[in-house]
Amino acid sequence: MSFFPEVSKIKYEGPDSKNPLAFRHYNPTEVVEGKTMKEHLRFAVCYWHTFRGMGGDPFGPGCAVRPWEDGTDSLEMALKRVDVAFEFIDKLGAPFYCFHDRDVSPEGKNLTETNKNLDAVVKKLGQKQKETGIELLWGTANLFSNARFVHGASTSCNADVFAYAGAQVKKAMEATKELGGVNYVFWGGREGYMNLYNTDLRREFDHLAKFLSLAVDYKKKIGFTGQFLIEPKPKEPTKHQYDSDSAACMAFLKTYGLDKDFKLNIETNHATLAGHSMHHELTYASSYGMLGSIDANRGDELLGWDTDQFPNNLYETAQVMLVVLGQNGIGSGGLNFDAKVRRESFEPIDLFYAHIGGMDAFAHGLKIAAAIRKDGVLKDFVKQRYASWDSGIGADIESGKAKFDELEAYMLKKGDADKNTSGRQELLENVVNRYLK
């Protein structure tokens, strides 16, 4: 039985194609900088938006047309949805998918039943992975939808909720391991505060760190080798999320001695909500070897919340790929489309258009970034800009040879600093635009 009978396998047809169900740039076997596009981009489809999102918003319930849904959150429906998901991902040609435990399987009447539901679905996911060759980029636990998480999970004022969350992550990590997942993600959910009058901020941070260190312990115990990732987000659902941006996450991890065990999964729309560009968030993490994976989407310039739209901005995808190529690849991470079609795009076929466009935007961005790197236009400029640090006083400062005494003696003798040269921002922006084709 087919759930998308009108769609066959999406193929690469080249930049001139006008077929909306074909790739114009994503050519999985095309080699760029010594690796195939498939290896560079490591696209993943997310289960929550793509197979559970029904387009609901604060003004109305979901209205997406999904002929396979029976309107229930039953185990039977969950098992059927696995067939839908794998047909979609397989036809699209994405090599990976990602899920939360509660996206793929329903909550039961108690934890025992909930875990049994997950076991049943994981079994089917495993079979489908084998059948299709699709792999799991990452798993995670939904620690925010159920009412028990109203005050957060590991940062809840209720110790029982911390315990429940621990049990849930333990199970989700086991499921991820069983399915060969190459990463495991911790997005904060409701770990944050709405109001400081009722919040012991320091205690909540300590609990968050305790929770993550227990996860590290358990990871070692069961021999799960996937990369742990923290996903920063500054606000929504809480007013202030503890994992607010790359810098905050890295400072937190360092403070609690967890920095060797985690990297970051950085999401475009979360970067912009934090008042940063995606380029900034990626560069910050990558500079310290902390960029592990990417949630690929975009926000709306005029809306101040997490709209999770599909990426289409070539400037941005090129910047993302410049950072990724600059660190020699995304490693075990990938580009997960944490993105949802608009409420108005309610037909199943829209899911294909959305993903094809996102994949093409990144494949195109990859080609642009590679061309910029090939000509060395930015790299050479930056190298030249910092040349004063490569010898003389600059090299002495960097190596620790020059202290304040030496700096004073040097400058007294010289009288004044050498003249500055222009940063040439506009010139460089023009140069980058030359490659946007």
Say if CB 292 and CB 333 are below 8 A apart.
yes
Minimum distance of ligand XLS from residue 386's CB (angstroms)? 36
In one-letter notation, the amino acid at residue 386 is Y
Q: Which does 191 bind (CB under 5 to 8 A by kind): ligand XLS, Ni ion, none?
A: none
List the single partner that 245 binds among ligand XLS, Ni ion, none, CB under 5 to 8 Å by kind: none
Helices (H) and strands (E) in the chain, counts: 16, 14
For ligand XLS (CB under 6 A), the number of binding residues is 10
Query: Residues 228, 261: contact at Cβ < 8 Å?
Result: yes
Spell out, one character per residue from 164 to 193, where the chain touches Ni ion: x when CB under 5 A holds, - when not: ------------------------------
Q: What is the largest CA-CA distance in the chain?
A: 83
DSSP state of 296: -
Could you give the string, one character per residue 199-238, with x where binding to ligand XLS holds by CB under 6 A and - elsewhere? --------------------------------x-x-----
Please work out the total of residues on this chain that contact Ni ion, with binding judged by CB under 5 A: 6
Residue 103 interacts with which of ligand XLS, Ni ion, none, CB < 5 to 8 Å by class: none
Element (H, E) at 268: helix 268-273
Per-residue binding letters, 337-356, with ligand XLS (x by CB under 6 A): -x------------------
Among 87, 101, 281, 306, binds Ni ion (CB under 5 A): 306
Nearest to 191 by CA among 247, 141, 240, 145: 240
Q: Restricting to residues 89-108, which ones interact with ligand XLS according to CB under 6 A?
A: 100
Report the nearest approach of Ni ion to the CB of residue 149 (Å): 17
Min separation Cβ 254 and ligand XLS, Å: 23
Q: Which residue is nearest to ligand XLS (CB)?
A: 187
Contact 298, 337 (CB under 8 A): no
Q: Taking CB under 5 A as the rule, does residue 267 contact Ni ion?
A: yes
CB atoms near residue 60 (< 10 Å):
9
Residue 245 interacts with Ni ion (CB under 5 A)?
no
Could you say which of 50, 114, 140, 156 contacts ligand XLS (CB under 6 A)? 140
Say which amino acid occupies 363: A
Residue 338 touches Ni ion, criterion: CB under 5 A: yes
Tell me which residue of 254, 262, 288, 246 sits closest to 185, measured CA to CA: 262
Q: Which does 87 bind (CB under 5 to 8 A by kind): ligand XLS, Ni ion, none?
A: none
Nearest to ligand XLS of 27, 244 (CB atom)? 244
Q: What is the DSSP string of 345-379?
A: --SHHHHHHHHHHHHHHHHHHHHHHHHHHHHTHHH
Which residues fall within 8 angstroms of residue 165, CB to CB, at 6 or more apart? 141, 143, 149, 153, 154, 156, 211
Identity of the residue, 151 or 233, whose beta carbon is nearer to ligand XLS in the bound complex: 233
DSSP at 311 = P
101 contact, one of Ni ion, ligand XLS, none, CB 5-8 Å limit per kind:
none
Q: Is 281 in the site for Ni ion (CB under 5 A)?
A: no
The token pair at 382 is: 């930056």
Any contact of residue 191 with ligand XLS (CB under 6 A)?
A: no
The candidate with the shortest Cα–Cα distance to 381, out of 372, 368, 391, 369, is: 372
Stretch that binds Ni ion, among 61-69, 166-174, 269-277, 357-365 (CB under 5 A): 269-277
The footprint of ligand XLS on residues 284-323 (CB under 6 A) is: 295, 306
Show which residues are catalytic: 100, 103
Between 191 and 267, name the residue whose CB sits nearer to ligand XLS.
267
The 3-state DSSP class for residue 143 equals coil
Residue 184 three-state SS: strand
In the numeric block, the tokens 């620690």 are attached to: 143
360 binds ligand XLS (CB under 6 A): no
Cβ-contact 38, 27 below 8 angstroms: no
- Residue 66 interacts with ligand XLS (CB under 6 A): yes or no: no
Burial of 197 (0-12, 13-18, 19+ CB in 10 A): exposed
Where along the sequence are the contacts to ligand XLS (CB under 6 A)? 100, 140, 185, 187, 231, 233, 267, 295, 306, 338
Where along the sequence are the contacts to Ni ion (CB under 5 A)? 267, 269, 295, 306, 308, 338
